[in-house]
Each structure stands twice: as C-alpha cells, then as structure tokens.
Amino acid sequence: MYYLVQAGSSLQRVNTNGLVTTLTLPTGVTIDATVRGVFAVLGGVIVFARASSVNLIIDPATFGVSGLGLTQPLTAPVLTAGSGTGLTGIYSAKVSYARKNANGVIVNESPLSQASANLSITGKNIVYSNIPVSPDSTVNCRVIYRTTAGGAVYFKLLEIDDNTATSITDATADAALSLLPVSPDLGNAPGTSPGTRMKLLIEWKGRLWGVSDTPGERDAARFTEIGTFYKWPSDNFINAQGKGEDSFGIVAFVRRRDDLGLLKRTRINKIIGDAPSNFECLNLSEQIGCIAPDSVVVINNKAYWLNDDGVYRWDDSGVECISRATVDDWFTKDATFNRSRFSQAFASWNPLANSYELSLAAVGSEVENRWISYHIDADGGRGAWLGPHLTTAFTPTSRARLNSDDGVPTPVIGGDDGYIYHQNQTTPSDVEGDTTVHAISASVRDRYMHNGNPAMTHSWGRIAISSRIESAGTTMTVTPYVGGVGAAATAAITLDLTRGFQVVRRAGVGRLCSLEFAQATAGRRFLLYGYDLLNTFYVGIRG
C-alpha cells in the first residue's frame, strides 16, 4: 500500500514502510510549496490540483505524472477528394489529441478542434491532410471524427496511433460510421486556462467536481461525465445560489452520502440528485458559512468545519455551532488564536479517539502551531473540547488518516521538516524525525470554586488527590490560585504519582480557589481520578 503526498514543491509516493519516491513532474510544471494541494480519485486515476501550475493526473500503474487537460488542436484537418471510390455527399471532420496507456486504451483526450471546411464528393474516398500534431510530448494518439453524408453530428472515425502522421485516407461507409460513438463534448476542467487554477476538487456520485479560481466562475461547481476524469462538458455545471454576492464564491465542498455541500463564506448550498437530469441546488442556510476549505471533515456522514465564529456540524438534523456553548472565546476573541489565519486552518479525523482535530495558529503566530480536538463520544455522547494542544517537535502543515497494510487506521500529521508523524503512540513524547525527544506538556486547570458563597473569604483546606499509579520517578505539579478571579499563582506543589493517593498542604485563604495540574516530562503521563479540599471553612466577609 502507498500514499501520495505533496512534499513542498514536489509529489512523492510513500509506502507503509516509510519508503519515499519522488515523482517526476512534466516539463515546465511546478508546484507552489506555499499552497496546500488537493487530491481526488476516480476510476483508479489520481488527480492533483490547486498547488500545481496545471491540473495533474497520476497513473497508479506507473506513477507517471501528466497534465489533466490536453490542449485543443488549434487547426482542423483539410479534406480533399481522393482517387478511390466509396463516398458520395457533403462531409466535414474534427480532430482531437489523445493519450493511450500501455494497453492501447485512451486515458485522456482533448476537446475537439473546430470543424473542417465542407467537402462535396461523388463516388470518391476522402484524403485528410494537415492533421495537426500536438506539441505535448505525452500525446501518442489523435482521433478523427467525421459526419455522415450531409449530417451535422460527428462520429468517431478512427484513431491514429502516433503524433507524427499528417495525412490519412478514408473510405468508411456511413452505415459503418453510424455504429461508432458520437463525438463527445469533452470540454476542459476548471483551471485549465493559463494563469488559472482549480481551487476545489472532489469525487461524488462517480464524477469529479471542481471549482475554478477564475473571477466570474467561482460560484460554478463543474462536473465530469460519469466515470471519466477528463470529460468536462461545457454545460455540466451548477451555480451555487447567491452567485456573485462576494469575491470568494464556493469556498469548500462537503461530501455527504446523499448531498454535496457547496459552502460559501455566508451561505450553505447543497446539491441533490444522481445525474445531470435531476441534479438540483438547494439553499440550506444563510448567514452561516465556511472560512477554511481544509477544515472540512466528514465523520459518519456528519460534516464538521471552521467558520469565522466557531466550528459547525451538519447532519440530518441540520446545521449547528458545536463550539458556542463551551469554548466560544477561542473563536470570537483574540486571546487564544490568530483569527486572521482561520482561512489556513486544516483538520482531520482521529478514528482512535473518534475526535475532530483542527490545527490553528496561536495569537502572534503565522503558522498553525496549535490544535484542538472535539471528542465526539465524550460527556455521554454530547461531545467535549480539549486543547489547545502544542506539538513541540515540529510545526504541523497537514493532517490525514492513513491505513496500514492490514487496514488499521492511523491518524498522522505532516511536519514542516519533511516527516510524517504518527499520532496516538504508546510513549507519550514528541519525537522529531532525527529522534530528538520532546515532552508533551499537559496542563489542566479547574474552574474557580466558591463553596456556595463567592462573597465569603474561605480557608481552603488540605488538597487530597486520587490518581492512577505511574512508574517510578513520575511526578505532577499542582498550583493553587486563591483569591478573586485572576488571582496570582501560589507556591507550586510536587505530587508523587507512584502513590495513587496523597494529601498535601492547604490551598490558602481567599474568596475563590482554582487548581492547575501540569506535567512536562518526556515519556510520562498522568490520569486524575478526582480531588477534594479537606476541612475548608468560612473566615468571613471582608469589607
């Protein structure tokens, strides 16, 4: 088993043993290392877009990389009457460039050329000359399409298995020609024109769907013919509702089982149906949208993503903000994260913890060096947020869920140092690619306690703590905060976690009390079962 990854300005194949092979890009094609690319798979072919200067396809048999779109022939063939016999009527033809695989099957084809001038003949064959030759070295075939006598529909005539011949002779009867496939409206994928990119790409209902970054086209979800990655007919598109209402257009795709979500900055559309004849775009919600395209993750047919005011979930019951009730300040105030970089956030599903994990930039940072996790099964299925977390060994640049050769799911994080890191490891440490070990700092602070009367000054009693018994040498730091809201920390207490239960000194005197539990030792962990403050009593109310 292998995976394809964007590694800076290159594409690489990585197998489950960690062996890395860099793929060869077509001549003149570049990948922008500052842009996070997007992959999609259809019919075994991998398509890569957004970060590359042209849309790319990767052949899974050879791992050869080539352009998704073949340039349309700029000229049409010239038709003249030949010396042979067989055809009578008025004829016209078109030509396309194509690419065949090692089995002789066409795997990519350009849009057709303009039609040739009409040829009127009586009892002659047809000579095709000036057949265009593609400048693309990956083209190894051209396809000729021809009308029947006096017809306006172009049928497939024959395949020329080279990119050099400029003339052929044809005496194929109309009756035989009409049995062949009619010429397709191949079209071009979004982002084919020079200077444009396909900013979004996904597979849904057996088709590829894409959105161009070209102004005027950002609200259009284009789609291919079913099962074919290179056929993008010009009329295969659906405009998201609210066309032209902003300069962003469709920001993200959401692939649910029966819906394809089109997320905009302030609107949610969804496409339903299973074919162009019944595809329909519905307006699901207004004033709610998405700010980060790479924050979208679908878990068990429930979609999660980041908006400018929090994390939202879309399931069969509708759309709701799942962060507002508990961690709203993370997203609506400038104390925790750099909100100006929300559009760069990225997320993944951790199947081992069943959590939605979102990478964000801390306040003052220009890289996504923090992450938070929403544990779906926590709190009796109501869900719970944990974080912000910090990975010390490297700066995360991407997140994904991979599978081992045995199909075991493994959540991973891509680092700016060029390594792919496994999450959920047995040893609780951050380990760099060069094996340098860092501690995973953990800190939990409880809410302020007031013992039923926040106006009363208390003498907070001795701290009794119950915890899991750890290996020798494992400690934890307990820091009391006693006074009013915002009270300064008092002297820290070192707790020996090999004992399981300890009673330490009194917390102190003040109206309120909060305890912080922290650990920052490589290879160590802790689990608290609970604590109590023994012999707490009122002192009085201070004037």
What confidence tens digit (pLDDT) does each residue in 273-283 have? 999 999 999 99
Spatial distance between the Cα atoms of 386 and 393, rounded to a whole number of angstroms = 20
User: What pLDDT does 509 receive?
Assistant: 94
Q: Specify the pTM.
A: 0.84
User: What pLDDT does 390 receive?
Assistant: 86
Spatial distance between the Cα atoms of 282 and 239, rounded to a whole number of angstroms = 11
The residue count of the chain comes to 543
Q: What residue spans define the domains of the chain?
A: 78-177, 328-438, 443-540
- Percent of the chain scored above 70 by pLDDT? 99
Domain at 443-540, CATH homologous superfamily: Galactose-binding domain-like (2.60.120.260)
How large is the C-alpha radius of gyration of the chain?
31
The position carrying tokens 């298995």 is: 161
Task: Transcribe 310-379 into DSSP letters.
Answer: EEEEEETTEEEESSHHHHHHHHHSTTSB-GGGGGG-EEEEETTTTEEEEEEPBTT-SS--EEEEEETTTG
Q: Which residues contact 491 (CB under 8 A, 6 or more apart)?
A: none
533 sits in which H/E element: strand 528-534
Task: Transcribe 37-102 into DSSP letters.
Answer: -EEEEETTEEEEESSBSS-EEE-TTT--EEESSPPPPSSPPEEEE-SS--EEEEE-EEEEEEEE-T
- Percent of the chain scored above 90 by pLDDT? 72
User: What pLDDT does 394 receive?
Assistant: 87
pLDDT, the chain, mean: 92
What confidence tens digit (pLDDT) does each residue in 179-198 have? 888 878 888 899 988 889 99
pLDDT at 421 over 90: no
**Mean pLDDT, to the nearest integer, of 74-86?**
93
**534 alpha-carbon distance from chain centroid:** 51
162 Ramachandran zone, left/alpha/beta (phi>0; psi -120 to 50): beta
What confidence tens digit (pLDDT) does each residue in 110-141 have? 999 999 999 999 999 999 999 999 998 889 99
CB-CB contact of 170 with 201 (8 Å):
no
Secondary structure class of 478 (helix, strand, coil):
strand
**Proportion of the chain in helix, strand, coil states, percent, rounded to 5:** 5, 45, 50
User: What pLDDT does 543 receive?
Assistant: 53
- Extract the runs of DSSP E, i.e. beta strands, from 147-259: 155-160, 168-170, 198-204, 207-212, 220-223, 237-239, 252-255
**32 alpha-carbon distance from chain centroid:** 16
Task: For residue 50, name the pLDDT band (cuts at 50, 70, 90).
Answer: very high
CB-CB contact of 65 with 23 (8 Å):
yes
177 sits in which H/E element: helix 174-177
**376 alpha-carbon distance from chain centroid:** 20
Q: Smallest Cα–Cα separation from 389: which of 410, 412, 368, 411?
A: 368
User: What pLDDT does 439 receive?
Assistant: 79
**Which structure tokens are listed for 212?**
């161009």
Spatial distance between the Cα atoms of 392 and 370, rounded to a whole number of angstroms = 10
Spatial distance between the Cα atoms of 133 and 166, rounded to a whole number of angstroms = 7
User: What pLDDT does 542 receive?
Assistant: 59
Higher pLDDT residue, 464 or 435? 464
CB-CB contact of 497 with 468 (8 Å):
yes
Spatial distance between the Cα atoms of 12 and 21, rounded to a whole number of angstroms = 5
Q: Which residues contact 525 (CB under 8 A, 6 or more apart)?
A: 428, 442, 470, 474, 519
User: What pLDDT does 25 receive?
Assistant: 95
Measured torsion, CA atoms of residues 449, 362, 35, 438, in degrees rounded to the nearest 10 = -90
**Which structure tokens are listed for 301?**
């047919």
What confidence tens digit (pLDDT) does each residue in 22-36 have? 999 998 899 999 999
CB-CB contact of 533 with 462 (8 Å):
yes
Phi first, then psi: what are they for 177, rounded to 5°?
-65, -40
User: What pLDDT does 505 receive?
Assistant: 95
What confidence tens digit (pLDDT) does each residue in 56-71 have? 999 888 899 999 988 8
Which letter, b or e, does each residue of 25-62 get, where b requires 16 or more Cβ atoms within 10 Å of its Cβ? bbeeeebeeeebbbbbebeebbbbbbbbbbbbbbbeee
485 sits in which H/E element: none
391-395, 428-432, 445-449: which is most confident? 445-449
What confidence tens digit (pLDDT) does each residue in 485-527 have? 889 999 999 999 999 999 999 999 999 999 999 988 888 888 8
